[in-house]
Structure 1
């Protein structure tokens, strides 16, 4: 599966984020980003298999708490401070689906894939994914060194890191 050039990928993520949150954000290529200690972040991973079963990728999304709440409020039309955990988790899972679809639809042959279900993972599980996969591309949008959104596409060597 060939991914589109990184600049085109960033331009695909930007309207997807605006759709999810109602706000525009710019995404830039960066190094793979680990979870940040001491911050509440949501990490969601979407496994994607080639139908021949020979290659597994994972599209991983990290959202800080503020960004996750902003998406949930926009998605469910709720005012600030009224987001319950179930809505927050649903919003994070849907964010991963939408951002991952931006990656997938730009692939050379998107008809040869099987898309799994998004899974929210712990910081430890995310670090395990990083150590058992090859990061192919990472894009990040961050305002004032906070309000972080990170999208990484991994080639996964060990499928067990995607199992709960």
Structure 2
């Protein structure tokens, strides 16, 4: 019997307070599988890490890799873990910041596309990022990650 290691990701949920209320910075997943989807296709900027890397360090590294922007400094609020439908465990921290998104330059990944074509293409990990109010974010984010929004709202109350 083969035992598969559980994949783990870590990320930063950047937030800001505006006249309209609390907003979070989410990314729309890149690549052809997500191109025409909106609901359930948005995520906390995050990425996988190995067991020997501290989750906090991975979260900061992945923010840089996924957005091409330096991870924000500031007090990190632990938001805990969630388990996504695919079994991946995601750990996140909230950090209040308002980064300049003009420098958004996403990292990329490669995959065979179209399937079984033998052609390997490169796609952005995130094809766009946006500031979203909590209600809109809840409608768009990966279902399991709504827990992070709820925990942030509790913290900010």
Query: Normalized against structure 1, the TM-score is what?
Result: 0.33
Larger Rg: 2
Q: Which has the higher helix share?
A: 1
Query: Normalized against structure 2, the TM-score is what?
Result: 0.34
